[in-house]
Copies of this chain bind each other. A is one copy, B any other.
Amino acid sequence: MKLTKAQQQEIKDLKSQENKTKRVIAPELEKILFDAIPILDHGFVRVIDYMGDDTSIVQAARVSYGKGTKKVSTDSGLIKYLMRHWHSTPFEMCEIKYHIKLPIFIARQWIRHRTANVNEYSARYSVLDKEFYLPSQENLAVQSKNNRQGRGEIISGEQAKEVLKLLKTDAERTYDNYETMLNERYDGSVIDEKKSGLARELARMNLTLNTYTQWYWKTDLLNLMNFLRLRADSHAQYEIRAYADVMLDTLKKWVPITYEAFMDYRVGGTEVSSKGKFVIRQLLEGKDTNLEESGLSKREWNELMSAFDLKKKIVE
């Protein structure tokens, strides 16, 4: 991530603001407001604005005139209750806005979360930065054998070098040709004064999917947690998880009580199907049971065993 001097100065100016407000504030989040937290090789996450804190959830659940309760313990009990029973509307009463720089192929995954507001940098209007994502070597892996949409073992040695070289060379060449077609360099300089460049909305099609884009992304607390539950999960693609992990930390700074309940009930919790409940009950009663009797698929059986640390996994 390379910020220009002008960008660094803009961030510094924003951080030096000190405004007075009657609204609630989140002190820990204020400290990192506007900072560009680096992710992957050129990406970042910046918290740009927010509305509400833990007490706003309590206040909304109670439709209260004032701040709700004064005691943190009461607030905490209510927030846990709301989380456990999947109450959704009180968590929608807080809002957060991020500025994010990310590779296009990750942006395409991300945008599938529809309940958010997005303004993306327009490549019809402007020239994209000359930055593309190149995985570090420990993140290069072969196609998984048993999970059709996942990674298997790490690639190393010659094959790793070759992959990285191909990715780098192709990204650079297609970007160079993007500039040639535009008749304009990424820094704004014109290549050939006698020529008119191809329209930006066309030239951009030559870029590869690891080119970085950026956007403003705003969502409410409920939908942020829905996003994080899926994207900070071990089944998520590594590159989007890298963003989700950093955003989990901003969640903690923003609404610490909600964060704890989220980790307990969502991230650390598990779901057990009707058939899965039968298996656990049998085992609790000291009876034996097995895959056939359970009606579960092998993969379901293994997921259940692993959720409860049971040593009865079956080879899939």
Known A-B contacts A67-B10, A205-B210, A283-B284; A174 and B163 likewise in contact (beta carbons under 8 Å) = no
Shortest distance from the beta carbon of A220 to any chain B beta carbon, whole Å: 7
Q: Note all chain B residues with C-beta closer than 8 A to A276.
A: 269
Shortest distance from the beta carbon of A54 to any chain B beta carbon, whole Å: 14
B21 x A21 contact (CB < 8 A): yes
Known A-B contacts A25-B19, A65-B99; A206 and B210 likewise in contact (beta carbons under 8 Å) = yes
A2 within 8 Å of B (CB atoms): no
A208 within 8 Å of B (CB atoms): yes
A195 x B159 contact (CB < 8 A): yes
Contact of A60 among B20, B59, B66, B119 (CB under 8 A): B119
Shortest distance from the beta carbon of A241 to any chain B beta carbon, whole Å: 12
A63 x B216 contact (CB < 8 A): yes
B50 x A199 contact (CB < 8 A): no
Interface of A is mostly: mixed
Shortest distance from the beta carbon of A229 to any chain B beta carbon, whole Å: 9
Interface size class of A (residues with CB under 8 A): 35 or more
Q: How far apart are the CA atoms of A24 and B97 in the complex, in Å?
A: 13
- Determine the residue in chain B with the shortest Cβ distance to A36: B65
Q: Note all chain B residues with C-beta closer than 8 A to A142.
A: 196-199
Q: How far apart are the CA atoms of A227 and B258 in the complex, in Å?
A: 25
- Determine the residue in chain B with the shortest Cβ distance to A48: B59
B209 x A204 contact (CB < 8 A): yes
Contact of A52 among B49, B60, B93 (CB under 8 A): B49
B216 x A93 contact (CB < 8 A): yes
A218 within 8 Å of B (CB atoms): yes
- Determine the residue in chain B with the shortest Cβ distance to A67: B14
A153 within 8 Å of B (CB atoms): yes
Q: Note all chain B residues with C-beta closer than 8 A to A25.
A: 19-21
Contact of A133 among B170, B205, B210 (CB under 8 A): B205
Q: Note all chain B residues with C-beta closer than 8 A to A23.
A: 19, 21, 33, 49-50
Q: Note all chain B residues with C-beta closer than 8 A to A18.
A: 20-22
B97 x A51 contact (CB < 8 A): yes
Known A-B contacts A19-B21, A197-B142; A97 and B103 likewise in contact (beta carbons under 8 Å) = no
Identify the 6 closest CB pairs spanning chains A and B, nearest first. Answer: A10-B66, A268-B274, A51-B51, A92-B117, A142-B196, A205-B210
- List residues of A whose CB falls within 8 A of some B CB: 3, 6-7, 9-11, 13-15, 17-25, 30, 33-34, 48-52, 56, 59-61, 63-67, 77, 80, 84-86, 89-90, 92-93, 95, 97, 99, 103-105, 107-108, 111-112, 114-115, 117-122, 124-125, 133, 135, 139-144, 148-153, 155, 159, 163, 166-167, 170-171, 173-174, 177, 180-182, 195-202, 204-210, 214-216, 218, 220, 230, 235, 237, 263-265, 267-277, 280-281, 283-284, 297, 300, 307-310
- Other than A166-B206, A269-B276, give 9 A-B pairs with Cβ distance below 8 A: A65-B99, A84-B300, A167-B205, A174-B174, A205-B209, A207-B208, A272-B272, A283-B284, A284-B310
